[in-house]
Amino acid sequence: MSKQNSETHTVKIDGLDKKGSGTGTVWRDTGGSNPRKLKLIVPQTLIGETARVTVQHPDRKTAKVLPEEIMSKSSERTVPACPHFEMCGGCVWQHWGYRYQLDHKTEEVKKFLGRNGFDTTAVNDTIGTGDPWEFRNKMEFTFGRDGALGLHELGNFRNVIDLDTCLIAEQDMVEAMLEVSDWQRAHSLSGYDKDHHAGLLRNLMVRQSQHTKELMLAVFATESPEGALEAPVADLINRITDKFPHVKSLMWMENRDWADITQSEKTHILYGRSYINDEMYGYQYRIWFDTFFQTNPRQAEKLVDLAIEMADAGKDESMIDLFCGVGTFSLPFAERVKSLAGIEIVETSIESAKRNANDNGINNTYFLAKDARRGMDEILKTWGVPDLLMLDPPRSGAGGKVMRRIGRLGTDRVVYVSCNPESFAEDISWLSAYGYELEKVQPVDLFPHTVHVELVSLLRKTRSSE
């Protein structure tokens, strides 16, 4: 690498970006009268550290580069447990002590609330998990064009890190992934090339119930499992069923679409059924390959506990569960209120919610497949104003139109569960004009070693609309 297209700098890390990478600024001497500013994004560094980096194309305003050496280390730094950490993009903070991760997540929640004018003393310290390893019940691995099977390389979505372990997934899931990798190599089956849209194997989804231990494996491929693939597929069935007695669902999913997502144009059940049984908070759920279900159910049960505690629902009260999904919160709440209406735009999720309620003997629920605003309008006409409203929107938040509709609805209490403190703070700011005050915010860590943080909050209507 010549000096014409690279420079070496020492940078002081003074912040973290939204993806959890360290950030810092250096001033380049370009030979003129004024130095030029270069903003650096340096993964695997911590605030206060000093790192040596070599930057290609330093004439740009921003550059992302891995550190060559941490010259001054933070006292909060720890040794990453995973041998793949430096290259794999699955985790970003294994180099950061877990207690400090939790502290940072608390401060992030306060930061966004403070920016939107809220009193940050309402925010409690983030609740961590006892063991920040083997917490995921779902993994989506990728087949690389070079025969690898694993996760995408840090900062390079087209390259796949061939994994021999993954410390955030259940051990059975990892061993099943490794068996599929051995099977691929034994039959010399090609991985998918995203650039040329060629190759057979695209993704491997593995799901496991932490309660029942039932396993699901779904292989996503560009061809049918029939014809020339019959012998390799028969071997896959034998390998998996012989070594993994907990497998209750083994599927082959045809996916020829150019979009790089785990979708199925045609599903072939190779063994067992199309779903597994799971349990959370004492309720039974059926989980299909595309079912949205909490990825860390141990911590998700804490979310349910907190939501129930904050809502303080009564047996004579009515409730709306907005963005209800498959009924993760609906079922526990339904047994604590007189009636509950769940609203969700995804029809398959509503069908699952109805089935889950029936499977658990719950008969005071009404699930509606509509967008949030129209769903609330329908419930208002049928039931009148509910006593309690809960919402758990996607990362993008509910949005101003939905929040204003909630404000006009005028329910006494709003419990907001969020996976994104930034969109959460923006959303609830709309409720201030309708007389709501933020009483409590409890962050919960569902995804150790990542930037993500969940929270449960309570807003109460204390005055008339302004």
User: Tokens representing 349?
Assistant: 């999720």
Angle between helices 421-429 and 400-409 (to 10 degrees): 50
| CB-side neighbour CA atoms (13 Å) of 277 | 9
Residue 179's φ and ψ, nearest 5 degrees, are -65, -40
Q: From CA 328, how far away is CA 312, in angstroms rounded?
A: 18
Distance CA 102, CA 442 (A): 12
Q: What is the 3-class SS of 222-275, one letter each residue?
A: CCCCCHHHHHHHHHHHHHHHHHCCCEEEEEEEECCCCCCCCCCCEEEEEEECCE
DSSP class of 209: -
Residue 199 contacts residue 193 (beta carbons within 8 Å): yes
Based on the residue annotation, tell me whether 419 is a catalytic residue of this protein: yes
In this structure, are residues 84 and 72 in contact, taking their beta carbons and an 8 Å threshold? Answer: no
How far, in Å, CA of 435 to CA of 461, rounded?
Answer: 5
The rounded distance, in Å, linking the Cα atoms of 175 and 243 is: 10
- C-alpha span between 77 and 69 (Å, rounded): 14
In angstroms, the Cα distances linking 196 to 15, 151, 199, 219, 276 are 39, 20, 9, 20, 35
What stretches of 166-229 show up as alpha helix (H) in DSSP?
171-186
Q: Name the 3-class secondary structure at 331.
A: helix
Q: What end-to-end distance do the CA atoms of the chain give, in Å?
A: 63
For residues 164 and 136, give the distance between their C-alpha atoms in angstroms, rounded to a whole number. 17
- Taking alpha carbons only, the member of 265, 258, 261, 293 closest to residue 279 is 293
**Residues in a beta bridge with 40:** 24, 63
413 close to 437: Cβ distance less than 8 angstroms: no
Across 73-227, where does the E strand assignment appear?
A: 138-143, 149-153, 156-162, 201-208, 215-221
Residues 6+ apart with CB under 8 A from 358: none
Q: Which of 88, 166, 324, 419 is catalytic?
A: 419
Kindly list the catalytic residues: 419
